A and B are shown apart, each in its own frame.
Chain A
Amino acid sequence: MSGIPFKSEQRTMRTLSVLVTALMVALGILVLAGAATLRHVDTAWRHAVTDRWTVETTAADADKTVAAVKTTPGVTDARIVPADEMRRLLQPWLHDAALTSALPLPTLIDVSIDRDRPPSAAALAQKLAAAAPDAKLDDHGAWTRDLLRIAEAGEAIGLAVFAAIALTAILTVAATARARLAVNRDEIELLHSLGATDGFIAGQFQAGALRATVAGVIAGAALAAAVIVGILKGAPPVVPFVSELRLEPADWAVLALVPAGALLLAMLVTRWTAYGLARRLP
């Protein structure tokens, strides 16, 4: 059937509709991108924690400690951290080269762990107690657990905000569709009385709303893409253990689903709303 034009929306209403759609799509993409980035940070932290342990010991027990650690299943390597390297690590915290050089430092052993088959920290601690009683094992769990919890909470909050945005978008589209239906009520009643089916009326109305929705979705996706690329390319990494903020190809694919989903959602909600009104006509 040929298209039957509904009344043109007022320019202000159309502009508002495009802007709201654009902002919803941009917010949705940005929140999801934030959640994905946090997930990568979380993973990087987990790897940093599970891949590397530290053993503090005395210089006298250093070799015995390394030998005990290296023979433990699940340990891939163990090395004594050179004093220069330790001082370099301390430098940013103490800001005083002379003090750093004068400071008495313990002997640290950097232990590499097999991520897939890590050793038991308790068993290794017991083994160390026998080989070098002064050695202390630090699996970094105590201080990173809170960080991981924060990252997980951030990701969960991101997903919750995305769900809230999606729900708000549905309600906004429905409200916009109702406003447009009210403006075009005469046309809808006339088409109905001339023998148009409910599906035809809903389809015509949906087609009329498509242009504004497409414009909003494209604008929102472009805005979000610009912000994400700007942040990923421009911002220096500020998160410990994370060399760069990044999104994987799979993340981009999920983000691309947001505008497609928004368009589909808007069309379905508009159609349902129009269909609901048409069905109430006698």
Chain B
Amino acid sequence: MITFDNVGFRYGVGPEILHDVSVSIEPGSFHFLTGASGAGKTTLLNMMHLSLKPTRGFLSVFGQDVGALKRRRVPALRRQIGMVFQDFRLLDHMSAFDNVALPLRLAGEKEREIRRDVTAILEWVGLGDALQASPRALSGGEQQRVAIARAVVARPGILLADEPTGSVDEAIGQRILRLFEELNRLGTAIVIATHNRSLIERFPHARLELTDGNLVRLPGAGSRS
């Protein structure tokens, strides 16, 4: 699904911040991406999301060589990737429903199907009674769940989440990770960037640890992934 082969990355003419990253994200897998703040987790996620290109090495996303990818091909690939941003990126002038509906509207879905799918996904994240609520009226945890609903409503092949539990308490953080596990059981590959070690130790999934720009794959507490 996503393959890094000896990938290096630097911003402009600055020092290289990722060195020889080689890893493969398989369909249906579940990975935590860990490392200290500034280790390059968000940069790695942005490369998976096609927002950044490697400065060296080979990266393929859904079988497409990112280095040779034409700009016009990027939007279609991006629609197969769900992204949960660290800062949620909800649009305050739109309701929770309309925020979640955005990917479906971009995909040209019919309004009737959009209503059905968005209502179902918001119920799934426990916000069935907040369809028309403005994001400003929601708590941090609720906003995070709206952002997750938006990322998964179009049933992407892979979900990338950048510090999805960073602004919520431990209980809500666990609930969010349970949602990701449910989604993973339905076949979506998951990559969660987080530095919350105490939380991820409760889950059995493999870890990709970034240290000084080098990526190491570590087994999780359980046997999956």
Contact = CB atoms under 8 A, between A and B. Distances in A.
Nearest to B106: A196
A191 B75 CA distance: 10
B106 A191 contact: yes
B17 interface: no
Interface string B31-71: 00000000000000010010110000000000000000001
B106 A186 contact: no
A1 interface: yes
B177 interface: no
Interface stretch (A4-12, A35-43, A243-251): A4-12
A195 B78 CA distance: 5
Contacts of A197: 72, 75
Interface in A182-225: 186-187, 189-191, 193-197, 200
Contacts of A7: 91, 93
A186 B91 contact: yes
B103 A194 contact: yes
Contact of A5 (B81, B93, B106): B93
Nearest to B90: A190
Interface in A229-282: 279, 282
Contact of B75 (A8, A189, A195): A195
Contact of B106 (A187, A189, A195, A279): A195
A166 B28 CA distance: 58
**Tier of interface size on chain B:** 20 to 34
Interface string B108-140: 100100100000000000000000000000000
Contacts of B185: none
Contact of A196 (B75, B93, B150): B75
Contact of A195 (B71, B72, B79, B91): B79
Contact of A193 (B51, B91, B94, B114): B51
B79 A194 contact: yes
Contact of A8 (B89, B91, B93): B93
Nearest to B46: A282
Contacts of A4: 102, 105-106
B76 A195 contact: yes
A190 B106 contact: no
A187 B78 contact: no
B61 to A, nearest CB: 13
Contacts of B83: 193-194
Contacts of A2: 105, 108, 111, 114
A139 to B, nearest CB: 69
A2 B91 CA distance: 17
B53 to A, nearest CB: 9
B103 A195 contact: yes
Given A1-B106, A194-B79, A195-B79, A282 B93 contact: no
A144 to B, nearest CB: 63
A266 B28 CA distance: 48
11 contacts: A2-B108, A5-B94, A7-B91, A189-B89, A191-B102, A193-B49, A193-B83, A193-B85, A194-B102, A194-B150, A195-B106
Interface of B: 46, 49, 51-52, 71-72, 75-79, 81, 83, 85, 89, 91, 93-94, 98, 102-103, 105-108, 111, 114, 150
The 4 closest A-B pairs by CB, nearest first: A195-B79, A195-B78, A195-B75, A2-B105
Given A195-B79, A282-B46, A282-B51, 9 more contacts: A2-B105, A8-B93, A186-B91, A190-B89, A193-B49, A193-B83, A195-B81, A195-B103, A196-B106
